[in-house]
Structure 1
Amino acid sequence: MVNAKKKGTSGEAVAFVTRSAALSRLQVSLRQFKALCIVKGIHPREPKKNLKGRGKIYYLKKDIIFLGQDPIIEKLRGDRVIKARAAKAKGRKEYDVEAFIRTQLLPTKMDHALKERYPTFDHALHDLNDALTTLHLYSTIRSDKNFTVEDLEEVERLLHEFNLYIIESKSLRKGFISIKGFYFQALIHGSTITWQVPHTKTSGRPREIEGVVSQTFVEIYKNLLRFVMYKLYKSIGMVYPPQLDDTKKESSVGLDALLAQINAVEEDDEEEEEIEKQKTETEQRIETLNVDKLVQMEEDNKEDMEEEEEEEEKPEEDQTFFAEREHIEKQGRIFDGLKVFVSREVNRDIFVFMLRAFGAEASWEGPDAPFSVNDTDITHQIVDAGFVPKRVFIDRTYVQPQWVFDSANESFLLPESEYAPTSKLPPHLSPFQNAKLKSYIPGRRTELDKMKEAARNGLPYVKEENEELALPVRYTEEREKTEEEKYTEELEAEAAGKTFAQAQAEEAEKPKEIVVRKKEYEAANIKSVMSSSNRYVYSKMVNSQNKKEKRKRTLERKARGLAAKEKQEERE
C-alpha cells in the first residue's frame, strides 16, 4: 500500500514561508530584515492559497536561504553582540568602557551587493536617474534620527562632485524649469541621464514613508554614486575623491573649492605630460640616426598618405556622424567667452552649475566669489523679473534666468532683448518633447526653428511684421492629390455633366455632417473586413487619434485666445 503524502510536506506549503518565520530563521529584527530585502532586491510573494491564514506576508523559501548566506547577516549578528556588551557596560555605569565598545561598530559594507545588483558599468549608469533624483530630494530635508547632519553633508558633497564631473566633461545637454523643480539631462558614456533638482526649501520627511526604507535607499545610492564617480573621474584623467577646501566650504556649497583642487591636479598632470613629451622627442632624435629607421619612417609616411586619401572618400554616413559629433562639442561650449554675474535673488547653485557646464565664467555675491559685481569684463548679469539693480552698468547685458536655459536648449545664444528684466518672457518650452512628432506645434517652436536656421547660415533673424507667432502651426493629415486621382475626379465630373471646378465647389459646400457620415461609413467598411482582434486594435488607434485631435483643438483655442488678449492689451 502506497503511503499517502502528509499535508504541508510538498508544493506551496514548502515553497513559501511567512515573514515571522523568516525573521526567526535569520535571527534579525524587522528593521534589519526590511533593509536586507531592499539591498538584495527581494520582494514579498503571494501564493495561490492562504497557507497560514489571512493577513500574512509570504516570501519564497529559496530567497530566505539566499539571504542567510549573505555576509551582511554575519555583520548584523556581530553588531548585536557588541550592542549587548555596550548595554551591560552602561548598566554598570562604565561609560568609558561603553564608548570603547561602541567604536567596534563599523559601517556595513555593501560592495558585493552592488556588484550583484549592477554587474556592469552600463547597468549602474542606467540606474543613475533614480539615484540622483533621490539624493537631491533628501539633501533638502531637515535632519532627524534617521538622517543626521553628517549624512546630509555627505550627500551634498557627492552631488557636487557629480556636478564637477559634468562641468569638466561638458556632458550637460538640456535643462528645464518647472513648478516641481529643475530638470537636467546629460550624456555620459553614451547613456542619457535625466534627474530632477527640487527648489531650494527645507522640508521634513513625509510620515507615510518609513525611515528604514528611505535610509536604506539613500545608503545604496550613495555607494552607487561613489563607484560610478570613481570610474567617471578616471575616464577624464581626474583624481577621485577631490579634496575640499574648508575655507571655501560656504562658497557655492564647496563647488568652487573642488574646482580649485581639480585645477591644481590638472596643472601637475600638464607638467608630467611635458616631461614625457621631452623624453619622446629625445628618443625620436636618437632613432633617426639609424638608416634603417629612416627607411621605415618613409614607408610609414606612405601608409599614412594612403589612409588620408581613404578618409577623404568617406561615405555620407561617416560625414553625418562627424557632423553630429562636432555639433555635440559645440553645444557644450555655447557660453564660451562669457563672464556672467548671478545676482543674489537668483538661485546661485543651479545657475552657476548651468553656466559653467556650458563654458561660461560665473560668479556671485559673496566673500569667496571669483570676481565682484564691479568687474568691467562682465558681459551678462542675471537678475529677476522687474528687478533693477542699484548700479546699472552700460557695458553689460541684463537678462532674466530663463535666457540661460533657453539658450542652452537651443544650442545658440538667443536675443537678449526678449529676456530683459522689464520684458514679458516668451514661453519656456520643454526640451524633452519632440514637437515634430505631435499634431500641435506652438508658435514659439516655429520661431525658434527660424532663429536657429538663421544662426546656422550666419544671418541675423528678422521678425516679419505680419508674422503671427502666437498662433499654432498645424500638421494636417491632408496630402496633395496625385495626378491619377485628379484625372479620375475630372472623368467623374465630366460623366455627371459638370466641369471639374464646379464639382470641387459643390464638394466644398457640402455640410460637415455629410463629410462625417462619409468617414464613419468608410471606417465601418474597413472594420467589416477585419478580424475581431484587428478590429479591437483599430478602434483603439482611432480613439487615440480622436483624443489627440481634441487636445490639439483645445490648445489651438487657448493659443488664439491668448493672442487676441495680447493684441487687445497692446491697443489699450
Structure 2
Amino acid sequence: MGRIKKKGTSGSAKNFITRTRAVKKLQISLPDFRRLCIFKGIYPREPRNKKKVSKSATPSTTFYYTKDIQYLFHEPLLNKFREHKSVAKKIGRALGRGEVGDASRLEKTLMPKITLDHIIKERYPTFVDALRDLDDALSMLFLFSNLPSTSAVPSKTIALCQRLCLEFEHYLIVSHSLRKSFLSIKGIYYQATIQGQDILWLVPYKFVQRVTGDIDFRIMGTFVEFYTTLLGFVNFRLYTSVGLVYPPKFSSSSDERGGELGAFTLEGRGVGPSQPAIEDSSAANSEKVQTITSSAAQAEADKIAALTAPEGETDDSAALVAGNEDENNDALDTFEVTAQDADILPQPQAGSAETSTLFASFTFYLSRETPRQPLEFLLKAFGCKRVGWDTVLGDGAFTNDESNPAITHQVVDRPALPLESLPALPDPSTSAQSTDGEVKPVALWPRATVPGRTYVQPQWVWDCINQAKLLRPDLYAPGATLPPHLSPWVKAKKGQYDPSIPLAEQEPEGEAEQFEDEEEIEAEGQDDEEMGSDAEKAVPKRNGKRNGMDALLDRSGEVEAGEGMDIAGTESDFSSEEEEEEVGEDWDGIHSEAASEIDEAEAARLQHQRELEAEAAGISVETLETNTPKSKAAEARKKAAKKRREEEEEKERLKMMLPQRKRKLFERMEYSNQKKDKEAELLRKKKRKVDKAKSVGRSSA
C-alpha cells in the first residue's frame, strides 16, 4: 500500500503561495516586498482553482509562484532593505533625543545606497531584450517629465526623466531611427526602429497637469526608479554604437531659457571640436558617424582595403557595383491586383535613407501658436537642417526673425484674419535693425505673407512622415479643411470604409443610385408632410369646436391617466360622431375624385411634353424614355439587384452542400461580415451627405 500524501503538500497548493506568507518568509515589510517584486519583474499569478490552492482564500487574495519567492531569498537587495531599516531606527532614536546633528551624520554615512545595475544585467541578458522592453519605460518617463513638482514627485526625478528622454531623442535624430508618428486624444505616438526592433511609446501633450490624490505615486515612483536605470544603460549603449560620447554636454543656462534639445552638445570620442546639437543635419551627421570611429575598427578596415583582389575579379566587381547603383536608382516596384476579388498586397515602402532626408532641403519657421517640442523633434529627425521659432517658445532656434529670406516653410495653426480685427503693428523704429542701420522688413502672420514661402498647418508634417513623401501643401493651407488624420498602424481591410480612398472606388455597384432613391423618397415624404399640414390648417372648424381626440393629438400624444376614457358618450355625442363620419366620407370622395382628375391631367401634359421633345429630336417616344438619366439609373439598379440575387442564390446552393457544423460556422462568419458591411455602408452614407452639403455650399457661395 502506497504512502498517503498529506493534503496541501503537492500540486497547485505547493506551486502557489499567498502574499502574506511570502512577506513573512522574506521578513521584510509589505512596501519593500512590492518594491522588490517590481525590480525583479515578479507579478501576481491567478490559479485556476483558489479552493485547491488554499481553503481560506478569498476573492481578494493575491497569489505568487512559490519558485519566484524562493528566487528572492538570494537577492542582495534584501540586505540593503534590512540595513536601511536598522539605520532608520537609529535616526529615529537620535531625533527623539533631540540630536539632530547625529541624525544627519547617520543619514549621510550609514544610509545604504541602492543600485539596480545587477538587476538590469540579470533581466536583460542581451541588448535586444532591453530594446524589446523599452516601450513602457519610455511612456512612463515621458509622462513623469511633464508632471509638476510635488511632494510625491520630487523635482530631481522630473529633471532626471527630462534629461534621459532628451538624450534618447538626440540619438533618434542622429541615427534617423524614427519612422512614424500619430496625433491621438491621449497624446502623440512615436515609433522608432532600433537594431531591427520596433519601439512604440506615447508622449502626453504639453498641458498643465493636475495631480490628484487618488494616485499611488509610491508604486509609480518604483517603476520610474527602475526605468531610469534601464534607459541610462540603453542610452549609453546607443551613443557608443554611433561613436558619440555619453553623456553629452548639458548647458543648464540654455535649459533654463527653454532650450530643451538645444541645451545638449554632442561630441565625438577624441575627434575635433564639439558640435552643438541644434546644428545637426543629415550631411553633418553622416560625416560625423564616418569620422567618429574607434582606432581598432579603422585599423581592421585598412587591412581589408589593403588586400589585393585577383585581376579577373576587379572588372567584375566594378561592373557589379555599377549594376547595384543602377538598381538603387530605379523606382520601387508595385504589386498590382490581377483578379477582382483578390487580396490587396502590401506595397513596398520607401527606404530609411529616403525618408531620413525628407525635409533636408527645407528651412522651417514655427509660429508661436504651434507645438514647438514635437515639431522640432520630428523635423530634425527627418533631415531638417535649420528650424526657427519665436523667442517666446524658448532658446536654441536657428533664427527668431520671421522675415528671414532663408525660410522656405512656415508652420501656422490659425487662419488668415481680416486686418481690421488685428491689433496694430509695432513701431518700426523699435524693431530689430541690421548692421547697415536699415530697418529689417517685418512679416508677421496673419497680417502679411512672404512671397515664395509655403504656409502649412502642423498636420502636414505628420502626414508627410507617415506616408514617406511630401504631400500637396495647398491641402494643408491655413484655414483649410484638413484631410482625415489616420493612424499609420491601422490598415483598412477589404470591404471596410477607407477615408483616404475616393468614395467611387470602394462603394459596391448600385449603392450610389440606391442612396439617391432614398433621398428622393425622403424629400417626397417631407413634401407630403408639409402638404398635409397645410391641408389640416385649411380645413374649417365647425362651430368653432374640436373634439377631445384632436385636442389630445395636439399635445403630442401625451394622454394623462383617465383622460378621454372614463366619460360615457351620450346620444347627442354619438349622433354628432355619425354626422362627422358622413361628412368625412363625403369630403374623402370629393378629394379622391379631384386628385384623380389632377393626376390624369398631369399625366396627359407630361405625355404631350415627351411627344414634343421626341419630335424635335427626330426619335421615337420609346427611345427618348430609355435615354433619360432616370431610366439609365433604374436600369443600372435592376442589373445590380439581379447580380446580387444571383450571387445570393449561388451562395445558398453552396451552403446546402456543406455539413451542418461547417454551415453553422459559415453562417456565423457571414453574420459578422454583414455587420461590418453595414457599418461601412453607414459611414459611406455619412460621407455622401457631407460631400453633398459641401457641394451645395459651394454652389450657393
Deviation of 1:97 after TM superposition, in Å, equals 1.9
- Which residue of 2 is the match for residue 349 of structure 1? 373
Residues 379 and 396 of structure 1 are in contact (CA less than 8 Å); yes or no, is this contact kept in structure 2? yes
Residues 441 and 472 of structure 1 are in contact (CA less than 8 Å); yes or no, is this contact kept in structure 2? no
1:362 maps onto 2:387 in alignment? yes
- Which residue of 2 is the match for residue 223 of structure 1? 229
Deviation of 1:415 after TM superposition, in Å, equals 2.6
SS in 2 for 1:249: helix
- Which residue of 1 is the match for residue 96 of structure 2? 91
- Which residue of 1 is the match for residue 243 of structure 2? 237
- Which residue of 2 is the match for residue 337 of structure 1? 361
1:94 alignment partner AA: E
- Residues in 2 aligned to 1:127 and 1:95: alpha-carbon distance in whole angstroms: 44
Of residues 153-162 and 548-557 in structure 1, the stretch that sits farther from structure 2 once superposed is 548-557
- Residues in 2 aligned to 1:401 and 1:275: alpha-carbon distance in whole angstroms: 38
- Residues in 1 aligned to 2:222 and 2:449: alpha-carbon distance in whole angstroms: 51
Deviations 1:240-288 (A, max 9, x none): 1112111211354531121x344898744989959999xx99xx9xxxx
1:166 alignment partner AA: L
Distance 1:203 1:302, change over 3 A: same
**Map 1:108-507 → 2, pairs under 5 A:** 108-205=114-211, 209-258=215-264, 260-262=265-267, 267-268=272-273, 273=291, 297=308, 299-300=309-310, 302-310=312-320, 327-360=351-384, 361-366=386-391, 368-373=396-401, 374-386=403-415, 388-390=445-447, 392-435=449-492, 439-442=496-499, 445-446=500-501, 471=503, 473-474=505-506
Deviations 1:7-48 (A, max 9, x none): 544444444332222112112111111122222222333453
SS in 2 for 1:385: coil
Residues 415 and 446 of structure 2 are in contact (CA less than 8 Å); yes or no, is this contact kept in structure 1? no
- Which residue of 1 is the match for residue 628 of structure 2? none
Residues 412 and 455 of structure 2 are in contact (CA less than 8 Å); yes or no, is this contact kept in structure 1? yes
Residues 457 and 476 of structure 2 are in contact (CA less than 8 Å); yes or no, is this contact kept in structure 1? yes
| Bigger Rg over Cα | 2
Distance 1:100 1:408, change over 3 A: same
Residues 89 and 97 of structure 1 are in contact (CA less than 8 Å); yes or no, is this contact kept in structure 2? yes
SS in 2 for 1:308: helix
Q: Structure 2, unaligned stretches of length 5 or more?
A: 275-286, 334-347, 417-444, 511-633
2:482 alignment partner AA: L
Residues 18 and 57 of structure 1 are in contact (CA less than 8 Å); yes or no, is this contact kept in structure 2? yes
Deviation of 1:309 after TM superposition, in Å, equals 3.9
SS in 1 for 2:28: coil
Residues 175 and 408 of structure 1 are in contact (CA less than 8 Å); yes or no, is this contact kept in structure 2? yes
Residues 244 and 254 of structure 1 are in contact (CA less than 8 Å); yes or no, is this contact kept in structure 2? no
- Residues in 2 aligned to 1:316 and 1:238: alpha-carbon distance in whole angstroms: 34
Distance 1:186 1:46, change over 3 A: closer
Deviation of 1:349 after TM superposition, in Å, equals 0.5
Deviations 1:414-434 (A, max 9, x none): 232222223232322332223
SS in 2 for 1:93: coil
Distance 1:338 1:266, change over 3 A: farther
Residues 472 and 556 of structure 1 are in contact (CA less than 8 Å); yes or no, is this contact kept in structure 2? no
Distance 1:159 1:472, change over 3 A: farther
Residues 414 and 478 of structure 2 are in contact (CA less than 8 Å); yes or no, is this contact kept in structure 1? yes
SS in 2 for 1:473: helix
- Residues in 2 aligned to 1:369 and 1:510: alpha-carbon distance in whole angstroms: 64
Deviation of 1:211 after TM superposition, in Å, equals 2.4
Deviations 1:269-308 (A, max 9, x none): 989959999xx99xx9xxxxxxxx9xx84x5554333333
- TM-score computed with the length of structure 1 as normaliser: 0.77
Deviations 1:510-557 (A, max 9, x none): 89599559627734743653363x445434432332232122212211
SS in 2 for 1:441: coil
- TM-score computed with the length of structure 2 as normaliser: 0.64
Residues 185 and 193 of structure 1 are in contact (CA less than 8 Å); yes or no, is this contact kept in structure 2? yes
- Residues in 1 aligned to 2:657 and 2:90: alpha-carbon distance in whole angstroms: 81
Residues 340 and 382 of structure 1 are in contact (CA less than 8 Å); yes or no, is this contact kept in structure 2? yes
- Which residue of 1 is the match for residue 76 of structure 2? 71
2:389 alignment partner AA: W
2:315 alignment partner AA: M
- Residues in 2 aligned to 1:19 and 1:276: alpha-carbon distance in whole angstroms: 51
- Which residue of 1 is the match for residue 675 of structure 2? 547
Residues 180 and 198 of structure 1 are in contact (CA less than 8 Å); yes or no, is this contact kept in structure 2? yes
Deviation of 1:86 after TM superposition, in Å, equals 1.5
Of residues 63-72 and 385-394 in structure 1, the stretch that sits farther from structure 2 once superposed is 385-394
Deviations 1:478-499 (A, max 9, x none): 9xxxxxxxxxxxxxxxxxxxxx
1:529 maps onto 2:658 in alignment? yes
Deviations 1:395-446 (A, max 9, x none): 432221112112222333223222222323232233222346563332xx34
- Residues in 2 aligned to 1:397 and 1:518: alpha-carbon distance in whole angstroms: 52
- Which residue of 2 is the match for residue 54 of structure 1? 57
SS in 2 for 1:398: strand
- Residues in 2 aligned to 1:208 and 1:517: alpha-carbon distance in whole angstroms: 62
Distance 1:403 1:2, change over 3 A: closer
- Residues in 1 aligned to 2:294 and 2:233: alpha-carbon distance in whole angstroms: 30
Deviation of 1:152 after TM superposition, in Å, equals 0.9
Distance 1:312 1:437, change over 3 A: farther
Aligned pair count reads 504
Residues 35 and 212 of structure 1 are in contact (CA less than 8 Å); yes or no, is this contact kept in structure 2? no
Deviation of 1:69 after TM superposition, in Å, equals 1.2
- Residues in 2 aligned to 1:522 and 1:275: alpha-carbon distance in whole angstroms: 66
Residues 15 and 66 of structure 2 are in contact (CA less than 8 Å); yes or no, is this contact kept in structure 1? yes
SS in 2 for 1:195: strand
Deviations 1:343-386 (A, max 9, x none): 11111111111111111111222254331224221112211121
Residues 135 and 199 of structure 2 are in contact (CA less than 8 Å); yes or no, is this contact kept in structure 1? yes
- Residues in 2 aligned to 1:213 and 1:570: alpha-carbon distance in whole angstroms: 57
Residues 402 and 419 of structure 1 are in contact (CA less than 8 Å); yes or no, is this contact kept in structure 2? yes
1:522 alignment partner AA: K
Deviation of 1:220 after TM superposition, in Å, equals 2.2
1:307 alignment partner AA: S
SS in 2 for 1:45: coil
Deviation of 1:160 after TM superposition, in Å, equals 0.8
Of residues 354-363 and 170-179 in structure 1, the stretch that sits farther from structure 2 once superposed is 170-179
Of residues 28-37 and 315-324 in structure 1, the stretch that sits farther from structure 2 once superposed is 315-324
- Residues in 2 aligned to 1:173 and 1:32: alpha-carbon distance in whole angstroms: 40
1:560 alignment partner AA: R
Deviation of 1:563 after TM superposition, in Å, equals 0.5
Distance 1:274 1:98, change over 3 A: closer
- Residues in 2 aligned to 1:506 and 1:393: alpha-carbon distance in whole angstroms: 55
Residues 370 and 413 of structure 2 are in contact (CA less than 8 Å); yes or no, is this contact kept in structure 1? yes
Deviation of 1:313 after TM superposition, in Å, equals 6.9
1:379 alignment partner AA: T
- Residues in 2 aligned to 1:105 and 1:233: alpha-carbon distance in whole angstroms: 33
Deviation of 1:3 after TM superposition, in Å, equals 6.9
Distance 1:386 1:552, change over 3 A: same
SS in 2 for 1:108: coil
- Which residue of 2 is the match for residue 45 of structure 1? 45
